[in-house]
């Protein structure tokens, strides 16, 4: 799609064109949508069903306890790792503290897109979201 908008040949790098248009790659787009839904569920701005699936992580008295983290349950199958109650805390806990502690939806989305864009196109820093291992 980026090649069509720029009217260039198919030999041109789509990554450079996406970066110029400030578009996220597919994996970061999925992460963006999931993190946005998680933010809305946390503050009850979406269906109550999503809010009930998120549980705060109980932590000891450490410096990192000020960071709002979610509990990620243990799973034994790869199929179950695609569920919201598992993947949402996984994505949420990997975000920067400044992004997680945003006050409004618009400020959260702005910080999130900046973080994901930097992780996608900067080779020195990647977002630490790991995929579950297949057994």
Residue 134 has pLDDT above 60, yes or no: no
Whether 10 maps to a domain, the answer reads no
Whether 59 maps to a domain, the answer reads yes
Residue 113 has pLDDT above 60, yes or no: yes
Whether 46 maps to a domain, the answer reads yes
Whether 80 maps to a domain, the answer reads yes
Give the separation between CA 106 and CA 108, rounded to whole angstroms: 5
Per the structure, the complete domain to which residue 37 belongs is given by 25-121
Whether 39 maps to a domain, the answer reads yes
Whether 12 maps to a domain, the answer reads no
Give the whole-number percent of the chain exceeding pLDDT 70: 75
Q: How many domains does the chain have?
A: 1
Residue 86 has pLDDT above 90, yes or no: no
> Does the predicted model carry a pTM greater than 0.85?
no
Whether 6 maps to a domain, the answer reads no
């Amino acid at each position: 799609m980026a090649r069509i908008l720029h009217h260039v040949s198919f030999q041109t790098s789509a990554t450079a064109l996406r970066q110029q248009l400030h578009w996220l790659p597919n994996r970061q787009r999925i992460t963006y949508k999931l993190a946005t839904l998680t933010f809305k569920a946390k503050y009850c701005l979406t269906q109550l069903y999503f809010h009930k699936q998120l549980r705060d992580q109980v932590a000891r008295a450490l410096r990192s306890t000020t960071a709002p983290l979610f509990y990620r349950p243990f799973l034994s199958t790869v199929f179950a790792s695609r569920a919201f109650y598992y993947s949402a805390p996984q994505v949420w806990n990997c975000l920067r503290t400044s992004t997680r502690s945003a006050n409004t939806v618009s400020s959260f989305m702005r910080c999130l897109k900046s973080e994901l864009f930097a992780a996608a196109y900067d080779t020195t820093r990647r977002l630490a979201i790991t995929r579950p291992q297949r057994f």
